[in-house]
Amino acid sequence: MVAEDQSLENTGSIHVVKEQSRFCNVLCGPVRWIKMLSKELHWSFVFGVVSLYGINQGLGGSMGRVATEYYMKDVQKVQPSESQALTAITKIPWIIKPLWGILTDVLPIFGYHRRPYFILAGVLGVVSMLFISLHSNLHLYFALMWMTLSSAAMAIADVTIDACTAYNSIKQSALASDMQSLCSLSSSIGALVGYFMSGILVHLVGSKGVFGLLTLPFALVSVVGIVFSESHVPGFSYKQVNQRFTDAGRAMWRTMKCSDVWRPCLYMYISLALSLNIHEGLFYWFTDSKDGPMFAQETVGFILSIGSVGSILGATLYQLVLKDHPFRGLCLWTQLLFALSGMLDLILVLRLNLKFGLPDYLFIVVDEVVSQMIGRLKWMPLLVLTSKLCPHGIEGTFFALLMSIDNAGIMTSSWLGGVLLHVLKVTRTEFGNIWLAVLVRNVMRLLPLFVLFLVPKGDQNTFKLPSEIMGVDPEEGDEKEEARNLEMASLVHSVDRR
């Protein structure tokens, strides 16, 4: 290890950085791995990833999900299909992520591209959560409005840290998989803690009380904005904003016309849209159906937290074993496993597990762990591919555009799932056709395999877009990159500068 560190210091080669990353991950443990990333990418970036993905989105998002489900069911008293459609509306801010992305890329505030947007997102989230938690009799549509605003706050923070991740993934491509693994592990660990606490907190303080507690993760987002390391952009002319918006739009259009970009984007949308989301129907069945398990609030939170262990296992398995495999092969096997894992839900709702002597509690824990693990394995290579499709200079904008396509697929999945529940007449009290909804969902998960040819065959570490798409002149790339970096956050301490 000493010889390897000395080689890294002397040569500064990307290959050695990659080998050091593998060695740290496998042998030295997560502490050494995080220290290595902090050294290569600056500690404030790692702190931002852990705070936003781990605490705000992981812990806060999981607590918010459980609180929202009980809030819609017990406080607003809506049907499962209606809850499915309404909660999907709160995801609209994630679909317009390119708007937030282009603002962070081309419109600095007080000379900074990233820090003010973190602070703004934190303040907006705190205000939104306070309104929902303190109002004693909030109308459904006003509650939906504040939920959407809190979702917008999380989306703004997400697109800002995504921009930094995409920039670093291009600058040090050998660490792209490591960065995505850090993001996923932070999110999964945060979700584990959040789900474990959510049921207990809903029982103790109610769903509205949980919304009040969610002001703390949003406040942390503002703290990230205060301590984040970013180069100041002096003398910015706001008269050039229109031209910058135009240039960014042209760069996005030029990139989207590239077949290496739009083909995997189309696959990601189809894969997500056809994986019908019927979670609300299953949630109502878990908690309200006399023929179901009738889980209490604490049990629901605990089951979901155990499911997050599967997500951590999936991210770890990807980091240690699968991150060097070709994109298409991984997508093939993970999509197949994703469809097969849905059969566990079918066994549960048909009560076949009881015939085999397996209690509901044990079976659904296994179901959650397996489903979350496979879902994470399915998502990880797509995230790495997304980070590698972003051209220089508009990393935040273009990564946000790609993620908005994914979020559009997720929202389409929720709406189609809500329609399916409505057509099959799955309500608050009628669950006779819930098994058929699960079966239809499982069959639909196989359809993306027919468009798998849209995914590139390339290796995850060597795949890159053509130089003209990336916005780099092959002959003058180094000079243009250096000039461009003057207007970007100085997050990466390259080996040559040490």
For 470-489, letters b (16+ CB in 10 Å) and e give bbbeeeeeeeebeeebeebb
* Residue 47 burial class via C-beta count within 10 angstroms: exposed 0-12, middle 13-18, buried 19 and up: middle
User: CA-to-CA distance for 208 and 455, rounded, in angstroms?
Assistant: 43
- pLDDT, tens digit, 9 for 90 and up, residues 281-320: 888 888 877 777 888 877 887 887 887 788 778 878 887 8
Residues in the chain: 498
- pLDDT, tens digit, 9 for 90 and up, residues 123-146: 999 999 999 998 878 888 899 999
Structure tokens at 117: 């947007």
User: CA-to-CA distance for 274 and 262, rounded, in angstroms?
Assistant: 18
Q: Is the pLDDT assigned to residue 447 strictly greater than 90?
A: yes
- Phi-psi category of 464—alpha, beta or left, where left has phi over 0 and alpha has psi -120 to 50? beta
Residue range 411-423: mean pLDDT, rounded: 90
For the chain, give the mean pLDDT: 78
| Of 281, 262, 495, 252, nearest in space to 397 by CA | 252
Q: What is the fold of 40-231+244-471? A: Growth Hormone; Chain: A; (1.20.1250)
pLDDT band at 449 (very low <50, low <70, confident <90, very high): very high
CA 401, 405, 406, 410 dihedral sign is positive
pTM above 0.75? no
Q: Is the pLDDT assigned to residue 27 strictly greater than 60?
A: no
User: CA-to-CA distance for 123 and 210, rounded, in angstroms?
Assistant: 18
Of 457 and 55, more confident:
55
Residue range 65-83: mean pLDDT, rounded: 87
- pLDDT, tens digit, 9 for 90 and up, residues 96-106: 877 777 777 77
Terminal alpha carbon distance of the chain: 20
- Give the model's pLDDT for residue 461: 61
- The answer to whether 336 and 449 are in contact (CB under 8 A) is yes
User: CA-to-CA distance for 167 and 163, rounded, in angstroms?
Assistant: 6
| Of 213, 76, 229, 48, nearest in space to 138 by CA | 76
- Give the model's pLDDT for residue 76: 86
| Of 264, 276, 325, nearest in space to 447 by CA | 276
Give me the helices (H) in 427-466, please. Answer: 434-444
DSSP label at 432?
T
- Give the model's pLDDT for residue 441: 93
- Give the model's pLDDT for residue 48: 84
- Give the model's pLDDT for residue 469: 56
- The answer to whether 235 and 95 are in contact (CB under 8 A) is no
Q: Where are the domains of the chain?
A: 40-231+244-471
pLDDT band at 2 (very low <50, low <70, confident <90, very high): very low
User: CA-to-CA distance for 336 and 463, rounded, in angstroms?
Assistant: 24
DSSP label at 232?
-
